[in-house]
Chain A
Amino acid sequence: MTTAAAAGSPVDGILATASIVLSLLVAVWALVAAVRHRAPDRLQFVGLAVLEVALLALTVVALVALGGGERPGEPGAFFGYLVTLVCLPPLAWVLARMEPTRWGSAIVCAVCLVTPVVVVRLQQTWEVVGG
């Protein structure tokens, strides 16, 4: 166990895991709604809102770590992913509101499948490039 590993990454903790799990849950729920010809329901919007709160909290944690002198392995990509990440749930929200049909649910599903990928990429860009 090296000290570097013990220090850990600010974007690789319970918050990130919770975001990924929540995002996938919303995606599954939205998929069920889309398959059943249902427009996005309240639960999907609540899910998106909670997801956004979790992602904003993740951002705060990352910024605090940066303030404390820690640096991501690839700063440019890291900030790119971070900004993209917090924009995803609002994007899904707006488009789903514009489309009150099954396709609105499909949009929520698609965005919530992309979000975990971006979280994982965010974690990878924090790690120092070595492999």
Chain B
Amino acid sequence: MAEQRATNRGPGRLLIAVYILFAIAATSRAGLQIATKFDEAPVAYLLSALAALIYIVAAVGLARAGHTGRRVALACCSVELVGVVGVGILSLADRELFPDETVWSGFGSGYGYIPLVLPVLGLFWLWRTRHDPA
């Protein structure tokens, strides 16, 4: 298959599409939670906002491609993976810490575990395209 291999082509474009969907989902959710009931669970809602920001930046990084884009995407996917696994474990260990759901609670179980799979796919895609011209 002679498909082009910049991060914003082929499978990369599908990845960007899913990142955009999650950026929308997380941004609206965080925005609404912070606007309407921030006092109930500030940590969870700020975390939602952080996740939303990371999804947006990751999508932009992948879409921009190039060296900077790749580095940005790499950082985002790494933070995401650490975040989803970390929050997943914490939310199991101590439910008090996250009284309300976030995108990353329970390893992203509320979103079909896609938040857990997405950074792995992102890192894999960055690795696959590592030798390609920007």
Contact = CB atoms under 8 A, between A and B. Distances in A.
Nearest to A91: B20
Contact of B17 (A80, A84, A101, A110): A110
B13 A76 contact: no
A103 B12 CA distance: 9
Interface string B46-86: 00000000000000000000000000000000000000000
A84 B28 contact: yes
Q: Indicate the size class of the contact surface on chain B.
A: 10 to 19
A23 B10 CA distance: 23
A95 B28 contact: no
Q: List the 8 closest A-B pairs by CB distance, nearest first.
A: A80-B28, A99-B13, A107-B17, A106-B14, A103-B10, A76-B32, A103-B14, A95-B17
Contacts of A81: 28
A25 B25 CA distance: 23
A21 interface: no
B20 to A, nearest CB: 7
Nearest to A81: B28
B19 to A, nearest CB: 11
Interface string B23-48: 01100100110011000000000000
Contacts of A84: 24-25, 28
B5 interface: no
